[in-house]
Amino acid sequence: MRTNDENVQLANLLFPQVNQSTEDIFKKYPKRELNEGSLVVRFAPSPTGFLHMGSVFTSLINRKLVDQVGGVCILRIEDTDKEREIEGGIDVIINGLSEFGIEFDESVQGGEYGPYVQSQRLDIYKVFAKDLVSKGFAYPCFASEEELSEIREKQSELSVRTGYYGEFAKWRESSLEEVRGELEGGKEFVIRLCSTGDNSVKFEFDDEIKGRCTFAQNDMDVVLLKSDGYPTYHFAHVIDDTLMGVNLVIRTYEWFPSVPLHLELFEKLGLSVIKYAHASPLMKMEDGKRRKLSKRKDPEADVRFFLEKGYPAIAILEYFLNIMNSNFADWRTQNLQLPYTEFKLKLKKFNKAGALFDMVKLEDVCKEYVASLSAKEVYDMSLVWAQKFDSELVKRLEENRELCINILNIEREGSKIRKDIIKWEDVNMAFEIFFDDMSDDIVLESVPENVDSKDVGEIVDRFLNSYDEGDDVTAWFEKIKVIGNDLGFTSDYKAYKESPSEFKGKVGDVAMVLRIALTKKSQTPDLYQVMQVMGKEMVEARLRGFVI
Ligand code: GLU
């Protein structure tokens, strides 16, 4: 056992360049002046160059909760794993989240509690590590990878927990002389926590999402500083969240098992514990089982997937609120006009089993959202998207502004609102029947079998002769009925049902011939509205040019 004095000597031996104290550091991070009930939260991603949808999910929770009660939402970059880091990774995060309207009050872009990138805070971690060593709460460990795996093998043979703890933690009792010897030999070392926990002792803990939980105390001498001088997640988390004045840590469930360790770290560092909320990660159903949405397996785990296809960002946020708090759906139906920001998100209402990320449901929310917009809004939003991802669409939208808005306005009012646009990419599909260069690529569908080619010609000719662009929908349909009745296609559906053999078909078949003649397709939005938007010239040209 080292004496107190030896611990201080050990600290000086390990960190000769560190001459600041923890008090010096605390002075640079004064207590925040907050209103009662305000939150200071942070989103703390690693800059891997990949933005997972789970990041949008977690940062939305953070941003939304702060917006509800006031406070500060911080973006902290956790780049302590040099292997996972990618150049430009920070921009991927900031720009990606910004597409969803998620911005931060403090980040690399500014703030008084920085630096907000962990690799720029290495000196701070060293001060705290030195402090812990001097108090006997941490020590250097020179065990090599081989020695560590030998320990693990031995533990497996003995059928006990693997890890660096208790009697297996051979460097925790090392003398000053032993350490000096290793240092002189130039051996690499890490700094480990000297845990005083007892794994057989259970304690209770309240998580803001999971509620009351029972844990066993930590007894692992985990690494705090790696041999390259970088902190581990655990050490940096406790120090940074304290210095930055965070009062609620919202993070994914994968960190839940580390709670006992983090509580011990707060205690050994003499810091107050911060509240935790552990949110389950986004899950996916596969073969009837839930599994984590995976960056490797699921294209929809990648934020870029949604941005490139133009899923409306707000609809995605609405969908996320839906799976966070199940009462959102009712709130939405009762408050159609209100923005999602008015909804009160509650951690206590989170689904404890985890949120299922279901593309079908997400697309439903997108459809409903686009259906709630005006044609002009759809035009504007798809133009913003196209400016990044679809230059042809930009050209089309800009050169045919009025026509495009009119197309997008079809079936946008009244009882039957179109729901064919899920994402901005789909706007192209809504346009295809109206632009000759696009409709050239549509494969002509067949007219109904019961209409022979002579009747097809008759229908088209007669319609052309009677067509008046100024007709309202009733007059327009009346003309189609008349043509149908003349040719043996009845508008009396009851009569048709009773004795179908008396008729060639129904008036719907007549409308179908016109639909196909005008658009090549058997399924389109409301035909009257389509014709109104096409206008006389296009309607006549297409009908005249129609050959089966
Ligand atoms: N960098 C950690 C992660 O990406 C952050 C976890 C946390 O929010 O504390 O998982």
DSSP 251-282: EEGGGGGGHHHHHHHHHHTT-PPPEEEEEPPE
Question: Cα-atom radius of gyration of the chain, to the nearest Å?
Answer: 33
CA separation (Å) from 422 to 60, 307, 328, 507? Answer: 22, 13, 20, 32
The pick from 76, 237, 276 for probing ligand 1's pocket by mutation, whose C-beta has the most ligand atoms within 8 angstroms, reads: 237
The pick from 55, 77, 90, 251 for probing ligand 1's pocket by mutation, whose C-beta has the most ligand atoms within 8 angstroms, reads: 251
d(C-alpha 422, C-alpha 22), whole Å: 54
DSSP-based three-state secondary structure for 291: strand
Instruction: Specify whether domain 453-544 bears CATH 2.40.160.
Output: no
Closest-CA residue, ligand 1 atom 3, reads: 45
Strand partners of residue 52: 302
Question: Shortest CA distance to 240 belongs to which of 405, 25, 517?
Answer: 25
Domain ranges of the chain: 4-25+122-279, 306-371, 375-431, 453-544
Closest-CA residue, ligand 1 atom 8, reads: 251
d(C-alpha 71, C-alpha 39), whole Å: 5
DSSP-based three-state secondary structure for 544: helix
Q: State which fold the 4-25+122-279 domain adopts.
A: Glutamyl-tRNA Synthetase; domain 3 (3.90.800)
pTM for this prediction? 0.91
CA separation (Å) from 271 to 71, 195, 199? Answer: 21, 16, 22
Closest-CA residue, ligand 1 atom 4, reads: 45
9 CB-side CA count, 13 A: 10
d(C-alpha 249, C-alpha 126), whole Å: 23
Reading the chain (548 residues) residue by residue, the pLDDT tens digits are: 899 999 999 999 999 999 999 999 999 999 999 999 999 999 999 999 999 999 999 999 999 999 999 999 999 999 998 776 678 899 999 999 999 999 999 999 999 999 999 999 999 999 999 999 999 999 999 999 999 999 999 999 999 999 999 999 999 999 999 999 999 999 999 999 999 999 999 999 999 999 999 999 999 999 999 999 999 999 999 999 999 999 999 999 999 999 999 999 999 999 999 999 999 999 999 998 999 999 999 999 999 999 999 999 999 999 999 999 999 999 999 998 899 999 999 999 998 877 899 999 999 999 999 999 999 999 999 999 999 999 999 999 999 999 999 999 999 988 889 999 999 999 999 999 999 999 999 999 999 999 999 999 999 999 999 999 999 999 999 999 999 999 999 999 899 899 989 999 999 999 999 999 999 999 999 999 999 999 999 999 999 999 86
Query: For residue 203, is it left (φ>0), alpha (ψ between -120 and 50) or beta?
Result: beta
Question: Shortest CA distance to 251 belongs to which of 279, 275, 215?
Answer: 279
Report residues whose beta carbon is within 6 angstroms of any ligand 1 atom.
44-46, 78, 237, 251, 255
Cα of 76 from ligand 1 centre, angstroms:
9
Residue burial 475-493, b: 16+ Cβ < 10 Å; e: rest: ebbebbbebbeebebbbee
